Chain A
Amino acid sequence: DIVMTQSPAILSVTPGDRVSLSCRASQSIGDYLHWYQQKSHESPRLLIKYTSQSISGIPSRFSGSGSGSDFTLSINSVDPEDVGVYYCQNGHSFPRTFGGGTKLEIK
């Protein structure tokens, strides 16, 4: 199985900060990497597909980059509503593993 490792586990930020969340795959997955956001007591929501493709309805401050085995989700100017847990997912091979998540907190 491909292991997805996210860092940091917890990120405490100030509104307006630009932040980067990391996701590393145990082997190359090309650009088959998706990002999800899960707010407290809600279902996950798709943020970014195929590393960097934007999703309708998602604020433009969210962007993705990377390839192969190293990926980054960037949030340009964090808003308090961005609090939650962010997960990356391997979309390349079975099983479609998720990373352990990065919890974003507001200071």
Chain B
Amino acid sequence: QVQLQQPGAELVKPGASVKLSCKASGYTFTNYWMHWVKQRPGQGLEWIGEINPYNGRTNYNEKFKNKATLTVDKSSSTAYMQLSSLTSADSAVYYCARFYYALDYWGQGTSVTVSS
């Protein structure tokens, strides 16, 4: 069965960076784009961007172009999102989701808390 495994939580200091992981299993990793979505506490969903694991091609929401960097490691079927220069506005849950015509499978999300 398709699974996307994400760590539950990360605590990071303001100004630092963090690299979130999303390990895929149960399907051919390189055949499906991977998307990333942000959700602040009590708020709606915000689309960050997508990556093609086959060739590394990316598309970003302009809002996140200087904040998020999407990469993959095909050898471990893992997608990554690095967030830089973190502030309190980056405290949120970040989901990875597989794209097959729509976002058909979602990870459990990683809760990122930015605090000193």
Contact = CB atoms under 8 A, between A and B. Distances in A.
B74 to A, nearest CB: 24
Taking residues whose C-beta sits less than 8 angstroms from the other chain, chain A's interface range is: 20 to 34
A87 B103 contact: no
Interface residues of B, number: 23
A95 B44 contact: no
Interface stretch (B10-18, B23-31, B57-65, B76-84): B57-65
Please report whether the interface of chain A is mostly helix, strand, loop or mixed according to DSSP: loop
B63 A95 contact: yes
Given A43-B95, A43-B108, A99 B44 contact: yes
B1 to A, nearest CB: 12
Interface of B: 35, 37, 44-47, 49-50, 59-63, 95, 97, 101-104, 106-109
